[in-house]
Amino acid sequence: AKKVGVKVAVEPLNRFETYLFNRGAQALALADAVSPECGVCLDAYHIHMEEFNVYDAIRQVGKRLFDFHVADNNRFAAGLGQIDWPRIVRTLKEIGYDGALTNEFVAPVDRTPAAPYPDMVERHPVDISPEQLKFIQDHGSSVLTEKFYTDQMRITAETLLPLIR
């Protein structure tokens, strides 16, 4: 990977998705065992479930943080949940992180009459394989409408851009 300029990072996921490693310290230990060039990718959604202190977890990973995934605690766009995004961004700046903030919301589908976004699911045929659709559905989501997806992207941008400038 290094020869072709590719960075490799391991990402801790929450205990409901895997039990291999769930916290930043565990991911850092695995990265250390792999190679000094191996880094860590932290995900706001996962670290808010698993870490005792998310800000200390970011600090501990420090310079080995290669990517940071953005989704709120409810897996919707940043700003639609309870995560303290100003503090997250301050902590990322504190460690000198200047990498990507990768938008990775996986909006849970609510098909009840109480759904906050009743038109979020695409109802027209889409060009994806059955395997791709199964993967999306296995993760509690579905194929999203262009409008819903665009709104989620806009909300994330409106939440984070003022903080990173």
Catalytic residue IDs:
11, 104
* Distance (Å, whole) CA 1 – CA 6: 5
Query: What distance, in Å, lies between the first and last C-alpha atoms of the chain?
Result: 31
Sheet holding 65-70, edge to edge: 9-10, 39-43, 65-70, 101-103
Show Cβ contacts of residue 74 under 8 Å, excluding neighbours closer than 6 positions.
80, 81, 82, 108
What angle (nearest 5°) sits at the alpha carbon of residue 102, between those of residues 11 and 2?
60
Residue with tokens 């995934």: 69
